[in-house]
Amino acid sequence: MANAGFPDKVRGALRELSNGYAAVTGRGVDFIHQPLGRHIDPDGLGGYYCDLRHKARYSLAVMDGEIVDEREWWIIPVAQAALGFWELRIEGHDVDEPFLQLADWLIERAEPSPCGGVVWSVGRPQVKYGLAPGWASAMGQGQAASALLRAHELTGRDVYLETARAALPALLNPVADGGLHNELDGAIVLEEYPTAKPTAILNGWIFALFGVHELATAGQVPEARALFDRSTEGLIELLPRYDIGWWSLYSLHDHGRPDLAKPFYQRLHLVLLDGLAMIRPDPLLTEYAERWRAQITRLGIARASLDKVAFRAHRARRRSAG
């Protein structure tokens, strides 16, 4: 009886290894490099801080039914595709219709938050962090707000502005009270995945900060500016913890071993730090962007990739043991 589940455990471990390999080798639209946006306006609503045009082009195939997978349609990919369309629009492409189609998707699926305002809940589990369906994401809130603020600028429709502003209350409140931030050694961490203990996923935190900043500027919400200032200050103070000497960490969550960034995220971290420095200049942001850029060597990529495959196997073993 003790061995009855053994084949399933083996299959689970092999699946984790396969998924890990696919992730670290950059397969799929989610792992195409996202360079710094080309039309950024830190004081307004220019292009987004990451170049997401490929997400927009991919979403057209989803909209046309060429790709049928409900996993393609949840808050983060939808908001990112909308921001990609905005970038294309700045460059003269006729994409108002698909951009507003995605903005309307965000309006239609906004749900009341226990903290007031709205959230966009995710209808599938997040296995890595043990979240059951129905969780929301600070990263999703921030990017949805960024997309909706641009929809308001394009159309003048109040519903877009009001819904963008309504994304803020969940970010202002802690996870313990139904919100989307945790406190870590005094830092207000905007959580991509709202677990009871801080995960402090670096890319999700910064993406959320971009949305909060735009709510403060274009949305003219004073509470957003206070949150941005305090949370950014905390991120800068914690930034050295994300450096392990030869690579960066994806998160500060305790998985039983360091949570190294995949090569995709190592590159993304540089872009996000450069973007954040355009809003809130600080020498530490520039220092770590340059440091992590220099770490992207063939040896570093190979070492980090092997570690991530081993990390997924480690997680599979822990789940099986549990």
Question: What is the structure's pLDDT at 12?
Answer: 43
Residue 75 tokens read as 């808050």
The amino acid at residue 235 is L
What's the confidence (pLDDT) of residue 29? Answer: 79
What is the structure's pLDDT at 310?
73
Contacts 24+ apart (CB under 8 A), 103-106: 103/147, 103/148, 103/150, 103/151, 103/160, 105/73, 105/78, 106/75, 106/78, 106/79, 106/82, 106/144, 106/147, 106/148, 106/163
Beta bridge mates, 122? 135
Per-residue confidence in pLDDT tens, the chain, 322 aa: 333 333 444 444 444 445 555 555 555 778 899 999 999 999 999 999 999 999 999 888 777 666 545 566 899 999 999 999 999 999 999 999 999 999 999 999 999 999 999 999 999 999 889 999 999 999 999 999 999 999 999 999 999 999 999 999 999 999 999 999 999 999 999 999 999 999 999 999 999 999 999 999 999 999 999 999 999 999 999 999 999 999 999 999 988 889 999 999 999 999 999 999 999 999 999 999 999 999 999 999 999 999 878 777 666 566 656 5
The candidate with the shortest Cα–Cα distance to 194, out of 123, 138, 121, 114, is 138
CB atoms within 10 A of CB 104: 14
Structure tokens at 98: 């698909």
For the chain, which domains are there?
36-119+129-321 (1.50.10.10)
> What pLDDT digit, counting tens, does each position of 12-50 carry?
444 444 555 555 555 577 889 999 999 999 999 999 999
Cα separation of 189 and 184, whole Å? 7
Q: pTM (2 decimals)?
A: 0.90
Position 314 scores a pLDDT of: 60
The amino acid that residue 30 corresponds to is D
- Residue 308's pLDDT is 78
